[in-house]
Amino acid sequence: MTANRLRLTAAAVVCTLLCTAPALAEQKNGGGKPEEKSAASKAKPDFDLSKLMAVFDKIFPPQPEPAPAKLALARSTAAGMLPTGTYASLFEEVMGGMVERVLALSPSDFVSKPGKGEKPGSTTLRQQMIEDDPHFEERMRIMRRVIGEELVKISALIEPRLREGLARSMARRFDDRQLTDINTFLSTPSGKAFAGQAMKMWIDPDVMRSMVQAFPEMITAVPGAMARLEAATAHLPKPKKRESDPAVEAEKPGETDSTS
């Protein structure tokens, strides 16, 4: 892959983050020509959201109903741990940091050993985007503002459900005394400060760095783990191959090499 393609690929990642919302909005509003929509509807069946929700309901079935008194305690805990507007503020945290740092990258950040006669460019992604779109900065400001405003609305929809799910989970995992102790802490200035930052800390650069720094060890460990899995299941017969399996299709009579 050339340095220029690497640059464009990384730029596409940033653009995707910012541009999917308008595209989805256009689909929702019925954008596109009638003949295009008609052809698309014939090409594949309509998406059935109810089916998808039913699948999730099977994967994550309702758990036993907590005792009313304990659930009431846990609801107070969940309200303290997930303050209103948390998700919208998470977006601001990401947009104000990670995206800006990605835009500051250049092809030389991706290429360790340039090809013969090839020199990685030093033009940053932001500079490339501005070169392609003189209104890029203004477009970014507008999109960040609009997406931020929309996420405030989404937060108002999703957070009450998350708090209820969190409350039900905690009501089953902690006893009355523990929930009371947690609520007492969350009602203090230190507790409120902790709750307001708890989720944001998971996307903090230091936390993300610690996760990424474990990747080399994780990748190195994969071959050994796969070898262990293979050895542990070696005594079991191989699973049957389905008809759609390419290996099965290749072995069907009449489809073998006629020269054999």
Q: What value does the mean pLDDT take over residues 113-134?
A: 82
The single-letter DSSP state of residue 108 is G
> What is the per-residue pLDDT across 81-91, written as a single tens digit (0 to 9) for each?
998 888 888 87
Total tally of structural domains belonging to the chain: 1
Predicted pLDDT of residue 165? 95
Can you tell me the distance from the alpha carbon of 103 to that of 105, in angstroms, rounded to the nearest whole number?
Answer: 5
* Inter-residue contact 196 to 83 (CB < 8 Å): yes
Give exposure, 90-123, as e/b (b: 16+ Cβ within 10 Å): bbeeebeeebeebbebbbbeebeeeeeeeebbeb
Which domain does 127 fall in, by range? 1-27+67-112+122-205
Give domain status of residue 211, yes or no.
Answer: no
Predicted pLDDT of residue 152? 86
Give domain status of residue 62, yes or no.
Answer: no
> What is the per-residue pLDDT across 161-202, written as a single tens digit (0 to 9) for each?
999 999 999 999 999 999 999 999 999 999 999 998 988 898
Predicted pLDDT of residue 35? 56
Give domain status of residue 77, yes or no.
Answer: yes
Give domain status of residue 20, yes or no.
Answer: yes
Give domain status of residue 210, yes or no.
Answer: no
pLDDT over 60 (residue 30): no
Average pLDDT for the chain: 80
Number of helices and strands (H, E) in the chain?
A: 12, 0
pLDDT over 90 (residue 119): no
- Tell me the whole-structure pTM to 2 decimals: 0.65
CB count within 10 Å of CB 77 equals 24
Give domain status of residue 15, yes or no.
Answer: yes
Predicted pLDDT of residue 249? 59
